[in-house]
Structure 1
Amino acid sequence: MKQCNATHDPARRSWVESANLPGADFPIQNLPFGVFTEGGKRRAGVAIGDRVVDLDAALAAGLLDGDAAVAVEATAGGTLNRLMALEPRYASALRAQLSDLLRTDGPQLAAARAAEQRILLDIGQLEMQLPCDIGDFSDFLTSLHHTERHGRFKGLADPLPAAFKSLPIAYHGRASSIRVSGAEVIRPHGQYKDAQGQVVFGPAPMLDFELELGAFVGRGNALGTPIPIDQAREHIFGYCLLNDWSAKSIQWWEQVLGPFLGKSFHTSIAPWIVTEEALLPFRLPAPARAPGDPALLAHLDGPSDQAEGGIAIELDAQLSTAKQRSAGQQPTLITRTHLQNLYWTFGQMLTHHASNGCNLRPGDLIGSGTISGESDLARACITELTNASRDPLQLGNGELRTALEDGDEMIFRARAAHGGAVPIGFGECRGRIRAARH
């Protein structure tokens, strides 16, 4: 597998001063990819501090060459799919040249500073877009704690599905309703059982968030050709925050073959893709399996994946209500969890997805499933936080929640931190709920 290099050097600093601030999401060690609209044109960019490198402008200024130039040319038209489809060395070369351009002691410092006004844009002034054309979206169910809790809420004798510890469970989601962070979430209509047990149709009363991490497929695989477990990460371009909005009232009534209308109305993702390479310093062993758990089948058991299939990422969810905002109050932190709370690695998810010969394509999105842990604060959806509405969530200003209400806004953040590496962030994933349309 790929090893850490000079771009990960914790001593490296950028002449973009905001990238060096404590707690910055986008230090020079990160350099995530995104797509924005500026001047009516879609373009690809890389975040650094509170600025974005306009890749087209950097190429036009003669600051990029070789494989890095090929990588930028692959983003023409303002989508990352063609870049994702290339061998990883192209994105890696672009990352390396950008790191050298942006560092305080880089070999092209004078040229980069001379072109600063042309190549750097204010991140706060850009309209962010989906980073790529997402052809398919598959969402997994990989937290044992989340799965067991929901099984108990439903009164199942065995709250954990029989297959859960043998394979990563997933369903096929709806790519057409994925939206970038900040897009309003319209409360969906649907069929559900009311308090009297009658089947009714109307605005869903039990709207929920699901705190997840998404992985974008880079190079795909041919139909009929599986992806070996220890090669799986070579097929992942990078990761983003993901909110798998759920209408639990609809979902729990309709779910026979799996989630359908209770999930397909909206999925939010953060605009920035943190690359697989940027996360190399934060690799951990795969989450431990309990004594007595089934042995991994061979196609899901690789030495490399077991040694470094986990990632040291902490994730938060905050809730902001209309009442809080009108009073000038800060959002309430309601969830803090860690990616190691998952039972399966992203490598195992991708390998299992392709194990029957299913062909994955550049830009396909894979969701981790709700990243709930054992502790109360690590419960990563309202349903768990309220014990299926039995214990209302208290927000500290007198407000209570058993489900999300119109005007509520969910804000996700995540941060990779491990050892002596410079921590890196994922930006924000926001979504505010609007009343159902009639």
Structure 2
Amino acid sequence: MASWIEIKEDSDFSLRNLPYGVFSTDGPKPPRIGIAIGDHVLDMSVLAADGVFDDIGFDVKTITGETTLNSYAAQGKDVHSKVRKRLQDLLEKETKLGSLLRDNQGRRARALVPMNSVKMHLPMAIGDYTDFFIGLHHAVICADVIKPGAKIEQLCPCFYNLPVAYNGRASSVVVSGTPFHRPRGQVPVENGQIVSGPCRKLDFEVEFACFIGKGNAFGQEIKVDQAEEHIFGFVLMNDWSARDIQFYEAPMMGPFNGKSFCTSVSPWVVPLDALEPFRTLPSETPMKRLLADYLTGKKTKSAYNIPIKATLEANSERYDIATCNTNNVIFSFPQMLAHHTRGGCPLRPGDLVATGTLSGPTKAESGCFFEQTRGGKEPYELKALKMGKGSVQRGFLEDNDTVEFRAQVSLGDGLGNVGFGVCGGKVLPAL
């Protein structure tokens, strides 16, 4: 799996990965589809226009004539796997297809774009966005913060038996690096009065999400054992949350303005095939579960073991927030899709489906300030990543704070990493 393209040892983008994204460069060309490889972006439209994929058997216009990944994602997992294999054959050091790219200087110059010269865009046009609540430790800790001594099954009786979710706001999902203004809304104050103004308890949430590739027809459910055929790939996600707005409005009908102002995703969509070696079991639950047949699949290792590191940048210094993991869930993505479509709900290419916060059992593994600070009552000390640079305290996010998530996994054999790039965003003052 070594490539003739130089790939740094710490790169997210080895031949094992080959994630999809949408990028643009200076000039008249519109945004187009690319593959991340080392410090370069491989322009898929160049390869498709030159006939590199003609024998694979799919509509290459989904690559050459599109500014999002939706149409290509809808081609299905079989096509994606064949394209991935072709790309690996093109990029491997010892390859029979080297003449198509490595040895073709003209095509090589047109197809390989330095990553530091591109602008990344939202990879898919998102029609719908669903955020689940399947993190065991997040649920348990939040239940105790909201009502000390309470169990999650008292606040949400069905939590262990089905994947709970709410439908989010797709129009405010943005690509990593997009700043946003502190939201405004109605918030309660200590004297029992209600004020309308800037959020005072702005938070982040470490999440993992998938983009839907092939959809399902209206009224037709997706079976749990076929659900992975409908997943195009995965991204890191920050479900920014206005806690004071959220908890004032949510008890009757669930999240609304407290969640609708911004959601950030990483720009590179990592395919299922790249994550295959990192499968694991979902978390065990502390009590007996009553799972319906439609949620019981044949594949037991249906979650992933991927650590996600969250950092905060303030006053030109970076601080460690937490390290979470994608295996801190009690349901898998196939179970989420099976439940999502059980009543006949149609999913479409580009729909975004997320896990909810991926906290672990300790404070250092908590994926939001709400947990770490017990709802803002106990400010949390963040240590600088550089030795000797001190620390800062946070109850919730302050203006001009930047939060970034990173995740990278490897088999440890020296043949490259699988990573997602950065999922980040900066908090600007309220308008």
TM-score category of the 2 structures, normalised to the smaller one: over 0.9
Out of 417, 420, 425, which is 1:431 matched to?
425
Out of 250, 254, 271, which is 2:249 matched to?
254
Q: Which amino acid letter does the alignment assign opposite residue 120 of structure 2?
A: M
Alpha-carbon distance in structure 1 between the residues aligned to 2:57 and 2:141? 47
Q: Which amino acid letter does the alignment assign opposite residue 65 of structure 2?
A: A
The CA deviation at 1:312 is: 1.6
Q: With structure 2 as the length reference, what TM-score do the two structures score?
A: 0.92
Q: Do structure 1's residue 243 and structure 2's residue 238 form an aligned pair?
A: yes
The CA deviation at 1:150 is: 1.5
Superposed, 1:264-283 pairs within 5 Å as 264-283=260-279
The match for 1:185 is: 180
Superposed, 1:186-225 pairs within 5 Å as 186-225=181-220
The match for 2:367 is: 380
Out of 70, 79, 100, which is 1:81 matched to?
70
Q: 1:292-335: CA deviations, max 9, x gaps?
A: 4223211111111xx220112111100111x2x0xxx3x11111
Q: 1:1-32: CA deviations, max 9, x gaps?
A: xxxxxxxxxxx1111112xx222100011000
Alpha-carbon distance in structure 2 between the residues aligned to 1:29 and 1:402? 39
Secondary structure of the structure 1 residue equivalent to 2:363: coil
Q: 1:383-412: CA deviations, max 9, x gaps?
A: 111122222122343531101000000000
Out of 409, 414, 425, which is 1:416 matched to?
409
Alpha-carbon distance in structure 2 between the residues aligned to 1:236 and 1:275? 9
Counterpart contact for 2:33–2:63, Cα < 8 Å:
no
Q: What value does the CA root-mean-square deviation take over the aligned residues?
A: 1.7
The CA deviation at 1:422 is: 4.4
Q: 1:403-429: CA deviations, max 9, x gaps?
A: 100000000011234576843101100
Alpha-carbon distance in structure 1 between the residues aligned to 2:393 and 2:190? 19
The match for 2:336 is: 349
Give every structure 1 segment of 4 or more consecutive aligned residues whose post-TM-superposition deviation is greater than 6 Å: none
Stretch deviating more after TM superposition (199-208 or 56-65) = 56-65
Counterpart contact for 2:76–2:230, Cα < 8 Å:
no
Residues 242 and 68 from structure 1, CA distance in 2 versus in 1: closer, same or farther, beyond 3 angstroms? Answer: farther
Stretch deviating more after TM superposition (81-90 or 28-37) = 81-90
Residues 383 and 243 from structure 1, CA distance in 2 versus in 1: closer, same or farther, beyond 3 angstroms? Answer: same
What residue ranges of structure 2 are gaps of 5+ in the alignment? 384-389
Q: Which amino acid letter does the alignment assign opposite residue 138 of structure 1?
A: T
Q: Do structure 1's residue 286 and structure 2's residue 294 form an aligned pair?
A: no
The CA deviation at 1:151 is: 1.6
Q: Which amino acid letter does the alignment assign opposite residue 65 of structure 1?
A: D
The match for 1:32 is: 19
Alpha-carbon distance in structure 1 between the residues aligned to 2:202 and 2:83? 41
Alpha-carbon distance in structure 2 between the residues aligned to 1:180 and 1:234? 25
Stretch deviating more after TM superposition (89-98 or 249-258) = 89-98
Counterpart contact for 1:272–1:427, Cα < 8 Å:
yes
The match for 2:136 is: 144
Out of 52, 65, 69, which is 1:63 matched to?
52
Q: 1:67-97: CA deviations, max 9, x gaps?
A: 2763564452211111111121211111111
The match for 2:115 is: 123
Alpha-carbon distance in structure 2 between the residues aligned to 1:136 and 1:33? 20
Superposed, 1:321-340 pairs within 5 Å as 321=314, 323=315, 325=316, 329=317, 331-340=318-327
The CA deviation at 1:148 is: 1.8
Q: 1:23-53: CA deviations, max 9, x gaps?
A: 2100011000000122241100000011000
Secondary structure of the structure 2 residue equivalent to 1:240: strand
The match for 2:387 is: none
Q: Which amino acid letter does the alignment assign opposite residue 53 of structure 2?
A: L
Stretch deviating more after TM superposition (187-196 or 163-172) = 187-196
Taking every aligned residue pair, what percent have the same amino acid on both sides? 39
Alpha-carbon distance in structure 1 between the residues aligned to 2:369 and 2:217? 39
Q: With structure 1 as the length reference, what TM-score do the two structures score?
A: 0.91
Counterpart contact for 2:54–2:60, Cα < 8 Å:
no
Alpha-carbon distance in structure 2 between the residues aligned to 1:313 and 1:416? 6
Q: Do structure 1's residue 15 and structure 2's residue 10 form an aligned pair?
A: no
The CA deviation at 1:433 is: 0.4
Q: 1:371-391: CA deviations, max 9, x gaps?
A: 011022110001111122222
Counterpart contact for 1:316–1:414, Cα < 8 Å:
yes
Alpha-carbon distance in structure 2 between the residues aligned to 1:360 and 1:341? 25
Count of residues paired in the alignment: 415
Secondary structure of the structure 2 residue equivalent to 1:374: coil
What residue ranges of structure 1 are gaps of 5+ in the alignment? 1-11
The match for 1:4 is: none
Q: 1:216-271: CA deviations, max 9, x gaps?
A: 11111111111111111111110001000000010000002110000000100011
Alpha-carbon distance in structure 2 between the residues aligned to 1:182 and 1:263? 19
Q: Which amino acid letter does the alignment assign opposite residue 369 of structure 2?
A: I
The match for 1:8 is: none
Q: Which amino acid letter does the alignment assign opposite residue 132 of structure 1?
A: M
Alpha-carbon distance in structure 1 between the residues aligned to 2:58 and 2:216? 25
